[in-house]
Amino acid sequence: MISISNLNQNSKTLLKNFTRAFVNSKKFVQPESFSFTKENQSKVKDILKNYPEDHKESALIPLLSLAQDQEGWISNAAINEVCNITNCPRIYGYQTTKFYSMFRRKPIGKHLIEICTCTPCMLNGAEDIVKATKDELKIDLGESTEDGKFTLTEVECQGACANSPVMVIDGIYYENLKTQDIQKIISQIASGKKPKPGPQNEN
Ligand code: FES
């Protein structure tokens, strides 16, 4: 039998990455059904009123967004339900959620960390911010922490280039970041506190 202690460093890293990918994939289960909550059913009606009766498909994106707001992500069942409501071929729903990166196609942790890696942020150190965050959480981009508290992802321009590099956590912007800000922000959120939003280089 092969013992782990006999593996070289490359093999150990490969095994670790495979195990992590397996653990992350095991957590990802597609629900068999989806339905909007009572409150959201009335929002669905309001959204549909914005479009002509014979062009319900125009409500595809707003309804997919509503489904995501409800569940935190969009399952296959949610896409199918939205396509039923809008009379869209299901493939439109799958293509739309695949094309727009703001749609999340798998469950996320309690807190979503989005780091901008577009050009201005990249030129101002986004790569170091990504690395510091990965090191702090011990996960890679696209993964969630074992305790389900954090999901880490990279995103395109968040519209705050003047204060780059930028990270958005649960919709709140943290700007002018330095690597030493990361540990403080994440630990405060993990303990239920609210870190100071906006530029981190101002008191
Ligand atoms: S490039 Fe990062 S906010 Fe615009």
Q: How far apart are CA 98 and CA 93, in angstroms?
A: 9
> pLDDT, tens digit, for every residue of 165-179?
999 999 999 999 999
Cα gap 42→48, rounded to integer Å = 10
pLDDT beyond 80 at 8: no
Q: What are phi and psi of 135, to 5 degrees?
A: -65, -40
* 188 alpha carbon – ligand 1 mean position (Å): 24
What's residue 91's pLDDT?
Answer: 97
Give residue-wise pLDDT tens across range 67-97: 999 998 999 999 999 999 999 999 999 999 9
> Would you list which residues are annotated within the binding site for [2Fe-2S] cluster?
116, 121, 157, 161
Query: Is the CB of residue 189 below 6 angstroms from any atom belonging to ligand 1?
Result: no
Cα of 111 from ligand 1 centre, angstroms: 20
Distance 102 CA to ligand 1 centre (A): 15
3-state secondary structure of 151: strand
Residues in contact with 4: Cβ distance below 8 Å, sequence separation at least 6, in sequence order: 12, 15
| Domains defined along the chain, listed by start | 38-99 (1.10.10), 111-199 (3.40.30.10)
How far apart are the C-alpha atoms of 149 and 189, rounded to whole Å? 10
44 pLDDT more than 50: yes
Region 174-197: mean pLDDT is 96
Query: For a pocket test of ligand 1, which of 101, 115, 118 has the largest count of ligand atoms closer than 8 A to its C-beta?
Result: 118
CB 81 within 8 A of CB 34: yes
pLDDT per residue over 119-154, tens digit each? 999 999 999 999 999 999 999 998 999 999 999 999
Does this model's pTM top 0.75? no
pLDDT confidence tier of residue 7, bands split at 50, 70 and 90:
low
